[in-house]
């Protein structure tokens, strides 16, 4: 009986070519697994394509709700943003895909897992760290790094290879953007983006929305509620998290929200440029922040921002299944206990404009914050506070004065 390999299958040209290559190179039985994180119509026709390419079986695993509840929401609650801009759309999806690949490999009794990530990107790290953490005994096959046996170097090479093996599918040899899509975002790399001097061709590129210039001339108000850090309603309608993200994607795309152009530092040491569309995610993150700033005390909020940045780096580097991620998430979870309330904002030409925030756990006290003297705050108390708070500065200044005096 042949050994089995589970292939992370998207149905694109790369993974289509990998199926006959695995059979020919290793004599494996190839079991394809497509993990549905909300790719939409990209999944159409996959079963027929996998069969035509020589796979013995195809699993299409819908994990949209698991992705939203157990991977996206911890990052939202943490305020995890990589290098100030990137909302981790691809990074968050890779560990849950790796987890599902391992589950299918165990179910099929497979000896190996194969992925089509390139040797220059981050995804090879994210997939393989996840697999190693969950199934250290499974072999991992990365064709693009196996240059002694994987000799294809271009789309034309892959198309020719497929045709030689009786696979004649409608793949075009002309260049297009390299994209990754799930419910949270879509990324674009390649073409004019490979030169940072070039402006992105948004007319040709955008999938989820429009540019701010093409957004409506009138803003649109949106109201959201949260309970313990988790979104519950949009404009009064109760929905699960995946439905909320879907709704916010529509609203954000309509108003040109969530388009970023970034040059980021990959884990492998190089800089890469990409354009990310994250309309719903950008709104959700902003709404959560809007509520949180009303509720968390200063020290907790300051610490959370620092750890949120570290959480983003851990996720970006593919270290989801680690004690560090679990510990950071435990801290974040503890901060979300009272992040409950309502936020209102206006979407207008790429902007998210606050329009009011309420919470039963708000730490904002009007009598303290107003310019009117209240019972809880005595202005004279500031005298002693400033004296003690500024004491180190005063002592140092006195010392410097004495040093300058002695020089004379």
Catalytically active residues are: 14, 94, 123, 178
CA distances from 125 to 5, 98, 110, 116 (A): 19, 11, 21, 12
Question: Quick check: 239 and 95 in contact, CB under 8 A?
Answer: no
For residues 304-336, b (16+ Cβ closer than 10 Å) or e, as one string? Answer: beebbbebbebbbbbbbbeeebeebbeebeebb
Q: How far is 246 from 256, CA to CA, in rounded Å?
A: 15
For residue 27 the two structure tokens come to 């004599």
């Amino acid at each position: 009986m042949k050994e089995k390999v589970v292939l992370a299958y998207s149905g694109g040209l790369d993974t289509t070519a990998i199926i006959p290559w695995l059979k020919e190179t290793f004599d494996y039985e190839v079991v394809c697994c497509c993990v549905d994180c909300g790719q939409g119509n990209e999944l159409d026709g996959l079963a027929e394509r996998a069969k035509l390419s020589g796979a013995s079986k195809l699993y299409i695993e819908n994990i949209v709700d698991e992705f939203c509840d157990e991977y996206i929401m911890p990052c939202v609650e943490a305020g995890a943003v990589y290098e100030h801009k990137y909302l981790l759309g691809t990074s968050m999806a890779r560990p849950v895909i790796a987890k599902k690949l391992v589950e299918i490999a165990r179910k099929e009794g497979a000896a190996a897992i194969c992925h089509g990530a390139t040797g220059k990107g981050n995804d090879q790290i994210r997939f393989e760290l996840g697999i190693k953490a969950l199934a250290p005994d499974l072999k991992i096959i990365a064709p693009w790094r196996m240059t002694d046996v994987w000799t294809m170097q271009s789309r034309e090479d892959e198309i020719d290879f497929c045709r030689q093996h009786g696979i004649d599918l409608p793949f075009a040899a002309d260049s297009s953007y390299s994209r990754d899509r799930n419910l949270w975002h879509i990324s674009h790399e390649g073409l004019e983006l490979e030169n940072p001097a070039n402006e992105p061709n948004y007319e040709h590129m955008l999938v989820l929305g429009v540019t701010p210039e093409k957004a409506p001339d009138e803003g649109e108000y949106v109201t959201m509620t949260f309970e313990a850090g988790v979104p519950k309603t949009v404009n009064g309608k109760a929905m699960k998290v995946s439905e909320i993200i879907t709704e916010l994607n529509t609203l954000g795309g309509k108003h040109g929200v969530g388009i970023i152009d970034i040059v980021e530092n990959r884990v492998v040491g190089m800089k890469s440029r990409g354009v990310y569309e994250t309309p719903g995610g950008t709104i959700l993150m902003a709404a959560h922040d809007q509520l949180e700033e009303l509720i968390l005390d200063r020290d907790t909020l300051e610490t959370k921002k620092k750890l949120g940045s570290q959480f983003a780096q851990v996720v970006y580097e593919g270290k989801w299944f680690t004690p560090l991620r679990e510990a950071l998430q435990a801290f974040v979870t503890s901060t979300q206990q009272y992040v409950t309330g309502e936020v209102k904002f206006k979407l207008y030409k790429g902007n998210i404009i606050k329009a009011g925030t309420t919470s039963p756990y708000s730490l904002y006290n009007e009598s303290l914050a107003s310019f009117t003297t209240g019972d809880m705050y005595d202005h004279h108390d500031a005298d002693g506070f400033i004296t003690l708070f500024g004491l180190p500065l005063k002592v140092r200044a006195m010392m410097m004065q004495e040093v300058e005096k002695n020089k004379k």
